[in-house]
Amino acid sequence: MENCIFCKIIAKEIPSYPIYEDEDVYAFLDISQTTPGHTLLVPKKHVSDIFDYDETLASATFSRLPKVARAIESAFPELAGLNIINNNKELAYQTVFHSHIHLVPRFTRADDFAIHFGNHTGKATAQEMTDLAQKIAEQVK
């Protein structure tokens, strides 16, 4: 894609700090370094988000996650956790529209990083939950 910053990084038109590369994916340090070692894993094929993946691309991309995660863990013996995040579409905080997966090393609770899952347990009835599950399950192909 012509104006995609990640496509330009993959093509080596823009410098990056590479972690891993093969025929399908490229992993490099995120320029923001939310925490030391914050890495992005991107498919080399331009897709905007998870909704554009086919099974082959998903397999090629997501199967590389453990390898990159283990490399981060090995590089940082003090690692206490790792967040793996994939934002899809603007409302979900996607800012670069070339699909990418964040691997954010966690060292302490004081890291400048947070995720909040609101607890809405009990706000939906069992029937509403059943109907919702069925609505989604019907779409799985």
Give the residue numbers annotated as catalytic, written as ranges: 100
CA atoms of 48 and 93, how far apart (whole Å): 13
Residue 28's DSSP bridge partners are 18, 40
The token duo for 92 is 């979900």
The token duo for 140 is 């799985």
Four-CA torsion 111, 18, 25, 67, nearest 10 degrees: -60
Contact 18, 30 (CB under 8 A): no
Please tell me whether residue 40 adopts helix, strand or coil conformation: strand
Determine the residue type at 71.
A
